[in-house]
Amino acid sequence: MKRTTILAAIAVTGTAVAALAHSGATGVVKERMEAMKAMGDAVKAVTPMMQGEVAYDADVMRETARTFQAHSGEAMTKLFPEGSTDMPSEVKDSVWSDWDRFAALAEQLRIYAEGLEDAAGNGPSGGGGNMGAGSMMGGGSMMGGGSMMGSGMMGTSMSGMMSADDIAAMPADAAFTMTTQVCSACHERFRAEDD
């Protein structure tokens, strides 16, 4: 019970901080912050299922996957025109100096999210889906931090990337983890640390 209260307090605080940060944003910076918030909210909706706190719901997982699809690939890259760093932007300049990598991660997220939508019907793995959002998402932030996909496993090209069909064949919790690790890898490389 105490853990749930603490997690609820953290979620409310994180939402309030995000709302405050977004209040000063305008134009494309605001659009991309809203897109990231939508994906973060989708993760928050699924995390209790992944932690075994609530029953698995394939429809909620599918909706999460659709949210990722709506904000990934070209829909994401168009929100990062060069030089769009007006405060309160959290983007590093490396987005533009390493554009190919950024665009590859945006596309990988789209592909994995397509696979996640199909994997939703597979249900969680036999382990009960208790995979822990902290390890999936890199800890305390909405969608970022460290990730096992942040460097070696991802490489620098799209070769070796799993297909949507590969992701779709996985248990839903594994597909969710793979998808959110793309978010973590992108945040690790391209999102400025909170002060």
Mean pLDDT of 21-40: 86
Mean pLDDT of 74-82: 95
Q: Which of 157, 141, 156 is nearest to 194 (CA)?
A: 141
pLDDT confidence of residue 86: 78
Domain layout of the chain by residue ranges: 2-190
Q: Which of 52, 41, 38 is nearest to 4 (CA)?
A: 52
Q: Which of 96, 97, 76, 91 is nearest to 31 (CA)?
A: 76
pLDDT band at 194 (very low <50, low <70, confident <90, very high): low
Residue 82 contacts residue 25 (beta carbons within 8 Å): no
At 23, the amino acid letter reads S
Instruction: Inform me whether the pLDDT recorded for 37 exceeds 90.
Output: yes
Residue owning tokens 């019907």? 121
Question: pTM of this prediction?
Answer: 0.73
Instruction: Inform me whether the pLDDT recorded for 65 exceeds 80.
Output: yes
Mean of per-residue pLDDT scores for the chain? 78
| pLDDT higher at 22 or 150 | 22
Mean pLDDT of 68-77: 97
Q: Which of 112, 94, 89, 88 is nearest to 166 (CA)?
A: 112
Give Cβ neighbours of residue 141 (< 8 Å, ≥ 6 apart): 14, 187, 194
Rounded distance between C-alpha atoms, residue 154 and residue 137, angstroms = 16
pLDDT confidence of residue 90: 87
Mean pLDDT of 124-145: 45
Instruction: Inform me whether the pLDDT recorded for 145 exceeds 50.
Output: no
Instruction: Inform me whether the pLDDT recorded for 108 exceeds 60.
Output: yes
pLDDT confidence of residue 102: 96
Instruction: Inform me whether the pLDDT recorded for 164 exceeds 60.
Output: yes
Residue 152, CA atoms < 13 Å, CB-side half-sphere: 1
Instruction: Inform me whether the pLDDT recorded for 160 exceeds 50.
Output: yes
Query: Chain centroid to CA 162: how far?
Result: 17
Mean pLDDT of 46-59: 95
Rounded distance between C-alpha atoms, residue 141 and residue 135, angstroms = 11
Rounded distance between C-alpha atoms, residue 17 and residue 14, angstroms = 5
